[in-house]
Each structure stands twice: as structure tokens, then as C-alpha cells.
Amino acid sequence: MAADPTVPRLTAGAFFGASCRSVSTPSFQFSELTAIVPEKQVPRHTHETPHFILITEGAYLTEARNQNGICLPGTFIFNPAGTTHRDCFRSATGKFLSVSVGPNASHFLGRAIPFSSILSGNGIRMLGDRQIEHRIMRELRLSSSPVLLEEFGLELIGLLSGAEDATASRAVPQWLLLAQQMVEDCAGEDLRIEELASASGVHPVYLARAYRRHFGYSPGEHVRRCRLRRVQELLTRTVLPLTEVALQCGFCDQSQMTRLFTRSFGIPPARYRRLFRR
């Protein structure tokens, strides 16, 4: 059936919203948006690419399956490629997170549900990981690391497509232990998950899910932990300026280091040094 020429077609990353912040990775585009078109003015439209929507503020109306009335903040929705609907905010204001899936990852959605569906919210929980959407939102707002966001997106694809079923063994495979060691050895560098997966002989989606399942964090989160431990060491054992500490530990600047260090340890680096320097 030919597409209706009167129905607007939205390309990847396009929504009826104004972007507050946006980060692109090799496989995804992550955006936090504010709705800008009133409910009655939103036309029926088609999304050309698959995407996820997390409602963060306002009351949302969706045609997705298993919905039960108005969707409140915390509702997480998946729309496959070709979705045609008139989803919109009923409230005067609305904000949402979008995760648009690019060609590098969309073909791994073959086993995913073929129709729009609510994945969490409204008493529904279809994803086994209860924190994945919150990790994405937190990272986008806190430091917007493309490396970490790419990993979170791949984890999300794995959850939705069933890739996690292949990682069910309790024993940590040898290739994954080697990948973990590689992460620790390269903690000062920006090691992309595609490079890590290639060296391990597995697909990035599989690696992302296996790493989380067996170790409780992603490769990028592991890198960040290693860097922060190194910051602790330099703060207590040296008098290096904080800008130099940040650069030696792989952070792009002192501001990023301070933000992440404070979130992890509860106090900023300068105060930590005053309290614990040996």
C-alpha cells in the first residue's frame, strides 16, 4: 500500500518538540525535548525510523498497545519504523526523552515487538532492567558522554530484541574476562564498545548485555570507575593542580571530573584532597 502523501513523515530524530539537549552516537540520537505543538494541532504523522520515548513531564496520549488512559511521567514507549499515529501531550506543557535508532543498530530490532507498545509505566513493566531509561536520562543531563550513551542504547536494543537470553550463563566467559582486563588497561583512553567487541569477537549488542549481566555495569561505566579511583590516588598522593589531575585521568576538563567525582563520592575533589591527603 502506498504511503498517504497527506501524512507528514518525520525522519530520524524529528519530533514535534524543541530540543533542550541532544547527543549523537554511532548508532543513536539522544534528545531531551519540550513539546511545542498544542494537542489539537498535532497532525497524524509517520515516523520513518524506530525510536523510544520517555515521558519526563506532562500528560501524554498514545495509540501504543497496552496503554491504559493518559500516560504520566515515567512512561517508556517503543515505536517501530513506519509507526503512524497522533500521539501528543494533553497537558499545557510536556517534556520527553527520545532515543532514535540509526541504521547501525536498527537491524538488530528484528526480534523486537513489531508494533508500538508501552514498555514501562501505567503499571506495566516489559523490560527486565528497571533502570535503563533512568541511566540514559541521567547521563544525558549529567555529562552527555557519547561512549556511555552508545552503550546504554545497545543495552536497550538487547533488552527489547531478546539478546539478553544469550547471556544467561552464570559463569563469566573467558572472552568477557579478557574484555574486562582490556577496559582496565585502557581506562585512560576513550575505548569504544565497537572496538572492544571487535577485539572480543562478539557483537556490540551482545557485549553490552553480557557486561552488564555479569559485572553490574557497562564497559564505559567501568572506565569511569577506574578513572575516578585514579583521581582519588592522585589527590591523596600528589600536589598536582586539579586541571592536571583531570587530564591525567582521562577527563576532558576539570569541570567534568569535579561533577562526576562529587556525584560518586559526595564531596568535590578539592575538599577530598584537604581531608585525605597523606
Domain boundaries, the chain: 9-142, 166-217, 222-276
For 68, counting Cβ atoms within 10 Å of its Cβ (0-12 exposed, 13-18 middle, 19+ buried), the class is: exposed
Strand partners, 34: 18, 95
Q: Identify the band that residue 218 occupies on the pLDDT scale cut at 50, 70 and 90.
A: very high
Instruction: Give CA separation, 142 vs 34, 134, 181, 242, in Å.
Output: 18, 12, 27, 20
Model confidence at 141: pLDDT above 60: yes
Per-residue confidence band for 187, with pLDDT thresholds at 50, 70 and 90: confident
The domain 9-142 having CATH identifier 3.30.930.10: the answer here is no
Higher pLDDT residue, 254 or 67? 254
CATH pick for 222-276 out of 3.30.110.70, 1.10.10.60, 3.40.50.2000, 3.30.930.10: 1.10.10.60
CA dist., res. 269 & res. 242, Å (int) = 8
Residue 67 pLDDT greater than 80, yes or no? no
pLDDT at 188: 76
124 confidence band (pLDDT: 50, 70, 90): confident
